[in-house]
Structure 1
Amino acid sequence: MAGHSKYKNIMYRKGAQDKKRSGMFSKLSREITVAAKMGLPDPDMNPRLRMAINAAKAQSMPKDNIQRAVDKASKGDTENYEEIRYEGFGPGGVSLIIEALTDNRNRTATNVRTGMAKNGGNMGASGSVSHAFDRMGLISYPASAGDAEKVFEAALEAGAEDVQSSEDGHEIWTSNETLHEVVTALTPVLGEPEGAKLAWRPQTMVEVGEDDAATLFKLIDTLDDDDDVQTVWGNYEVSDAILEKLG
């Protein structure tokens, strides 16, 4: 295990994304509805739903919105969403994995392809990128959950595989098979996590310069603004100095 936040750039500028309330609630609602529809509508009996609700609460999504999303699945009053993964390449040789929930595969594919083409990216075939990532569980805690040593020890005891801590918070990595078990073990010690999901962890990182970083962020912003796109993962590393300069 490690104690340094080497992978803080895996998900693009989380702090900036967290402020995008307009489209965020609709994406959170969609994930809650899909999770509830795929399993039981009770979060105590449905780990994916529990994680989706926890993620929504972490973003201050109103309780009424959360319940409404659950009720849509229970009443069958919802579109038939399917999970789709796209793979491609961004500026600077960065590899990107784009996860979507959509009720219209053609619409989503067109939007993703167009967004990539207009912002320095290229679509790749299935498997062209994902082979360079590991599919793992990612659990996120705020810095207030405890210092690095406390979180490290709790994660080790819970069966996690790696921890990265920084002033922004803690990222705990698990195998994808043990994600829910580790969350269950951590909750009595650290409290409910801000987020817990299956994630794509790069095997190697690509250092991105200022010019490529600006174009890359524009590309990811474009993808993220699409209602169907849930998460954009990448293997880019951008220095704090460049991040601060780009704002």
Structure 2
Amino acid sequence: MAGHSKFKNIMHRKGAQDKKRAALFSKLSREITVAAKMGTPDPDMNPRLRLAVNTARGQSMPKDNIQRAIDKASMGDADNYEEIRFEGFGPGGVSLIVETLTDNRNRTVTDVRTIFSKNGGNMGESGSVAHGFERLGLITYPASAGNSEKMLEAALEAGAEDIQSDSESHEIWTAADDLHAVVGELEKSVGEPEGAKLAWRPSVEVEVNEKDAATLMNLIDALDDNDDVQTVWGNYDVSDEIMEKLG
């Protein structure tokens, strides 16, 4: 992933997301609907919904789509989704956390297990890899939001813990409990973020060679292609040179 920050290397290839716009909007809609159903349909009064809407806007999701997702929950038309977190291992000793929203637990468990087994991975028990990650808040801004000095100052003043900037973006990390408050302060100083959500950041990263990286990216792409999978997190570190070869 040439030129991309460590976080984008940890998460998954952005290029793959860009090619799957419709699928991405579907996943964003599901998160918005679940957030609205769990609380009030007013983003100003529902922190989780507000973050979901912010992320959807950051991905250029049309306003009508966002409102339909909220209305679906308000009118009681939404399916009952369950949040399930899976943990597993990929090639090269990589640890993966897979977050899902599903209306059919058995289907999702079977699908995720199958994807792991067919793509060089293994499902683990609950808690088998999560101990190697920190649960934090992650706020993302495009590089155009400001230079690294400006963003660092704004992030620290807002109460963030860490920031990583590169030529494409700024990733601001916060304590999980501070995420909503930090987003609110940043909106005042630098505008609405491109994304804001709870994230899993690895304590230690695993360097992956070219052969394992190819298999790992196939595994992550297969997981990401599943409709029930919302986000895939991992502790892998793949060099820019290898990512360029993988395309």
TM-score range, shorter chain: over 0.9
Question: Matches of 1:210 and 1:153 in 2, distance apart?
Answer: 38
Contact kept, 8 Å, 1:18 with 1:59, in 2: the verdict is no
Query: Structure 1 length normalisation: TM-score?
Result: 0.96
Give 2:16's aligned amino acid: A
Query: Deviations 1:41-84 (Å, cap 9, x if unpaired)?
Result: 00111111111111111222111111110001001101110100
- 1:19 & 1:189 partners in 2: Cα distance? 32
**CA separation in 2, counterparts of 1:217 and 1:6?**
16
Q: Is residue 2:98 matched to residue 1:98?
A: yes
Paired residue for 1:45? 45
**Matched residue SS, 1:83:** strand
Distance 2:8 2:75 in 1: 39
Q: Give the corresponding residue for 2:142.
A: 142
Q: Which range is displaced more, 28-37 or 52-61? A: 52-61
1:229 aligns with 2:224: no
The CA distance in 2 between the partners of 1:22 and 1:70, in whole Å, is 18
- Following superposition, the deviation at residue 9 of structure 1 comes to 1.4
Partner of 2:13: 13
Aligned to 2:163: 163
TM-superposition CA deviations, 1:122-154 (whole Å, max 9, x none): 000000000000000000000001111111111
Q: Are 1:176 and 1:198, in contact at CA under 8 Å, matched by a contact in 2? A: yes
- Secondary structure at the counterpart of residue 9 of structure 2: coil
Structure 1 CA distance, aligned partners of 2:119 and 2:196? 30
Superposed CA RMSD in Å reads 1.1
Q: How many residues align?
A: 244
* Aligned position for 2:153: 153
SS at match of 2:226: coil
Q: Which residues of structure 1 form unaligned runs of 5+?
A: none
Q: Is the 8 A contact 1:88 1:97 kept in 2?
A: yes
1:187 matched residue in structure 2: 187
Work out the CA distance in 2 between the residues paired with 1:68 and 1:139.
Answer: 25
CA distance in 2, matches of 1:127, 1:204: 16
Provide the TM-score with structure 2 as the length reference: 0.96
Comparing 9-18 with 136-145, which one deviates more in the overlay? 9-18
**2: distance between equivalents of 1:177 and 1:136?**
8
Q: Sequence identity of aligned pairs in percent?
A: 75
| Aligned twin of 1:217 | 217
Q: Using the TM superposition, give the Cα deviation of residue 6 of structure 1 relative to its aligned residue in structure 2, in angstroms.
A: 3.6
C-alpha contact 1:205 1:235 (8 A) present in aligned 2: yes
Distance 2:193 2:16 in 1: 19
**Which residue in 1 is equivalent to 2:244?**
244
Instruction: Work out the CA distance in 2 between the residues paired with 1:233 and 1:20.
Output: 18
- 1:44, 1:50 within 8 Å by CA — same for their partners in 2? yes
* Offset of residue 19 of structure 1: 3.1
Letter of the structure 1 residue corresponding to residue 160 of structure 2 = A
Give 2:167's aligned amino acid. E
SS of the residue corresponding to residue 87 of structure 2 reads strand
Q: CA deviation at 1:88?
A: 0.3
Give 1:204 shift. 0.4
Cα shift at 1:5: 4.1
**1:77 corresponding residue in structure 2:** 77
Residue type at the aligned position of 1:171: E
SS in 1 for 2:200: strand
2 CA distance for matches of 1:8 and 1:59? 15
The alignment partner of 2:8 has SS state of coil
Shift in Å at residue 18 of structure 1? 3.1
The amino acid that maps onto 1:176 is A
